[in-house]
């Protein structure tokens, strides 16, 4: 019984130590884990090449301005049947 209790205590201590290490490593860099993953190439699991730009960047503002212009354009033209 005592050995089982010690094993549980060791497991909890190990989990806490891992959590503390992960928390501390996230404080050292200026980028979040999501930003680091997003900057990876697609073959490593990062964003695909055709993904829209991130919010807050000049490229995103430009994309949103183009979308607003397209939305404001009159849509009276009929689609030509093929």
Please indicate whether residue 25 or residue 71 has the higher confidence score (pLDDT).
Answer: 71
Collect all residues with Cβ–Cβ distance below 8 Å to 52 and sequence separation of at least 6. Answer: 60, 63
Q: What is the pLDDT of residue 4?
A: 65
Output the CA torsion sign for 39, 45, 50, 56. negative
- The pTM score is 0.42
Delimit the domains of the chain by residue range: 2-71
What percent of the chain is predicted at pLDDT more than 90? 15
Residue-by-residue DSSP string for 9-55: HHHHHHHHHHHHHHHHHHHHSSS-HHHHHHTS-GGGT---TTPPPPT
Structure tokens at 36: 């680091």
What's the average model confidence in pLDDT over 18-28? 65
Q: What is the mean pLDDT of the chain?
A: 76
């Amino acid at each position: 019984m005592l050995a089982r209790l010690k094993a549980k205590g060791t497991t909890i201590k190990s989990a806490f130590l891992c959590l503390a290490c992960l928390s501390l490593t996230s404080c050292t860099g200026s980028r979040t884990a999501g930003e680091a993953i997003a900057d990876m190439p697609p073959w490593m699991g990062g964003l695909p090449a055709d993904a829209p730009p991130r919010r807050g960047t000049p490229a995103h503002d430009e994309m949103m301005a183009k979308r607003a212009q397209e939305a404001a354009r009159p849509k009276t033209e009929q689609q030509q049947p093929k």
